[in-house]
Amino acid sequence: MQGSALAADDFIIVQSTTSTQNSGLYDHLLPKFQEKSGIEVRVVAVGTGQAIKNAQNCDGDVLLVHAKVSEQKFVSEGYGVSRADVMYNDFVIVGPAADPASVAGGKDVTAALAKIKQTSAAFASRGDDSGTHKKELALWKAAGVDPSGDSGGWYRETGSGMGATLNTAVGMGAYAMTDRATWIAFANKGDHKIAVEGDERMFNQYGVILVNPEICDNVKADLGQQFIDWILSDDGQSAIADYTRDGQQLFFPNARMS
């Protein structure tokens, strides 16, 4: 009985993002980790902002998200032990075939956003304090645009995850910003295509952090660290690189402490 009880407790909770979940990455990675370690990983997939709040409330053992400044703040305030880069991909702007703002084929994301504003072309935003939303707002600011004044007009904030926001964008013929992995895995593309890509400002870095057991005494620090060590190891990094959809690699491993 004691062994069964111990085995039943061999799980960790990872607070993470909808992009890593919706892309299918965890379905690919976690069985490999569990087979090697015997540790089950239970993922809570929400926006990065909510994932960080959940971890601050001690509702998790590991944080794996994509908003580096917020992650570093999480560590500096004592909620996390340390942070490491895990992998990256990029963000893209997708839009309808009609391309009402005439941005398709462009690389300069701020120029594209400025044209979307100028033409009042519909744009669907997550509006949920996720890593994607944080990046989107930073890019609007760099473009010299404050879209909040047009909320409910051409600028629609869904308050939802990436998949739901893409459904909204496709349904209303709107542009949207998404991480490439979610877009590749997304089934309901309609006539939407990638309109803007390749700007270095759309780089999308993911990081992993052990929640601090000195702040949260329920944290399974040993099991959580085993997961972090594995995902940063050659085996974990190779597993990330091996994950493809439709022949396309979705995430690119780049493990290092930061």
Predicted confidence at residue 105, as pLDDT, reads 98
10 Å Cβ neighbour count for 218?
A: 11
Cα(133)–Cα(129) distance, integer angstroms = 6
pLDDT at 6: 45
E strands within 133-258?
155-157, 175-179, 193-196, 203-211, 244-245, 248-249, 252-257
Tokens standing for residue 17:
């993002």
| 242, two tokens | 């091996």
Fold match between 2-88+205-257 and 90-202?
yes
> Which pLDDT does position 7 carry in this prediction?
55
| Residues in the chain where the model's pLDDT stays below 70 | 1-8, 258
Rounded distance between C-alpha atoms, residue 20 and residue 99, angstroms: 28
Q: Domain 90-202 class?
A: alpha beta
201 vs 107: CA distance, rounded Å: 10
Query: Residue 8's pLDDT is what?
Result: 58
Provide the pLDDT for residue 2: 37
Distances (CA, A) of 206 to 18, 67, 110, 228: 12, 7, 22, 13
Place of tokens 């895990």: 86
What CATH number matches the domain at 2-88+205-257, 3.40.190.10, 3.30.420.40, 3.20.20.80, 1.20.1250.20? 3.40.190.10
Q: What are the boundaries of each domain within the chain?
A: 2-88+205-257, 90-202
